[in-house]
Amino acid sequence: MRADRVRGHLDGLLMAVLEQGPLHGYAIITAVQQRSGGVLDLRTGTIYPALNKLERLGLLTSSWESVGERRRRSYRLTDAGRRSLAEERTAWREFTVAIGSVLNPGAEPRSAI
């Protein structure tokens, strides 16, 4: 899937995979790819600016950990991030109902909640 199709939803995707616990960058990419059945293939150049932004907003925290001789940064969802993720999910449901109503005009509109 083209990267531009993920635009606008990347923050929610990243927070969703971090909901279960902390992950480092490559593990985040892998989790998104696995959970999407291989359809979403994010690049490091896409996720790191988004992770940094989410951290600046207080939705994530990060810490450095050592794995053997290597160090890697691990990201964790904050309480504010959990609240933001809940809002993202509500907005996503509303969005998909609205788009579905337009793309499938014969279908009965459903409530988003």
What is the DSSP pairing of strand 60-67 with strand 70-77?
Answer: antiparallel
- pLDDT value of residue 8: 83
SS3 19: coil
- pLDDT value of residue 64: 95
- pLDDT value of residue 30: 96
pLDDT tens string for the chain (113 positions)?
555 667 789 999 999 999 999 999 999 999 999 999 999 989 889 899 999 999 999 999 999 988 888 999 999 999 999 999 999 999 999 999 999 999 998 766 566 55
85 neighbors 11 (Cβ within 8 angstroms): no
- pLDDT value of residue 85: 98
3-78 CATH, one of 1.10.10.10, 2.40.110.10, 3.20.20.70, 3.60.15.10:
1.10.10.10
How far is the C-alpha of 60 from the C-alpha of 49, rounded, in Å? 13
52 alpha carbon, distance to own chain's centre? 13
Contacts for 53 with CB less than 8 Å, ≥ 6 apart: 11
Domain range annotation of the chain: 3-78
